[in-house]
Amino acid sequence: MSEILIKVRGSHSVEVAPERGVVSAEIRFDGASPEPVMERLQRGLQSVRTELERLEQEGAVERFLVQRVRTSAERPWHQDGKRLPLVHHASVGLTVEFIDFTALATWVGRTAGDEGLQVHDVSWRLTKDSRLKVERDVRQEAVRQAKVRAQDYADALDLGPVAVRSINDVGVSREVAYESAAMAMPAAGKFADAGSAAPDLAFDPDDISVYAEVEAAFTVAIS
């Protein structure tokens, strides 16, 4: 008895709503003397930390991370080629993982005018458990689709049931696209007027696309 080898690819994708919004931000101050710059940074960081701790207690924030403070100094050049006085810099990065997307938008809008604070990016994610489950389900369905495809070829030739010989994992990919008012948000300092209201932001992320593909070889016995 001999056998026929059938090689196929199987793939599957799903769309999943994001569960976390991760904000990347920075607090930064510059000045002619290091001590005042550090004092301003510490006050700014304390204010932001207090607000984030409140949101964490309310359940809107999963967690937040304050990175190490970075300091530097430089003597910039004037446009006429002269060296200007020394400028000191101090900054600290922030990563905030939001559960509540409405609270995320409110926080970004409310802090848009805070001196020294700048929001760099907002990314969208699944929780670790959800991501692992979705990827597992997608991989398994990709294998099932490969088997269905191989059996279709065997059926077209009036052959019997196929048996798997090998499976090669091509990989799993995740993509997310979104539109966010925060990306077009005015820079800090544009809301200096005390009577200015926080910008009306809305975050409406698209679903996260999870895609898996496998290469598989099946055999079918022929007499």
For residues 146 and 112, the model is more confident at 146
Beta bridge partners of 167: 216
107 Cα distance to chain centroid: 18
Is a pLDDT exceeding 50 seen at residue 193? no
- What is d(CA 22, CA 98) in angstroms, rounded to the nearest whole number? 6
Residue 196 predicted with pLDDT over 60: no
* Digit-coded pLDDT (tens) for 31-80: 999 999 999 999 999 999 999 999 999 999 999 999 999 999 888 777 77
pLDDT at 81: 76
Q: 3-state DSSP call for residue 115? A: coil
Q: What pLDDT was estimated at residue 201?
A: 67
State the CB neighbour count (10 A cutoff) for residue 53: 12
- The per-residue pLDDT for range 156-191, each reduced to its tens digit, is 999 999 999 999 998 888 775 443 433 334 333 333
What does the pLDDT average to over 6-13?
Answer: 96
Tokens read off for 20: 């976390």
The residue with greater pLDDT, 223 or 102, is 102
For each of the domains in the chain, give its residue range(s) and CATH number, in order of start: 1-19+127-223 (3.30.110), 20-125 (3.30.70)
Phi and psi at 213, nearest 5°, equal -140, 140
pLDDT of residue 214: 96
Residue burial 141-156, b: 16+ Cβ < 10 Å; e: rest: bbbebbbebbbebbee
Quick one: pLDDT at residue 187? Answer: 38
Q: 59 phi and psi, to 5 degrees?
A: 90, 5
Least confident of 29-33, 131-135, 172-176, 219-223: 172-176
Binning pLDDT at 50, 70 and 90, where does residue 200 land?
A: low
Helices (H), ranges, the chain: 34-58, 101-110, 128-156
DSSP-assigned states of every residue in 149-190: HHHHHHHHTT----EEEEEEEEEEEEEEEEEEGGGGPPPTTT
Quote the percentage of the chain above a pLDDT of 90: 71
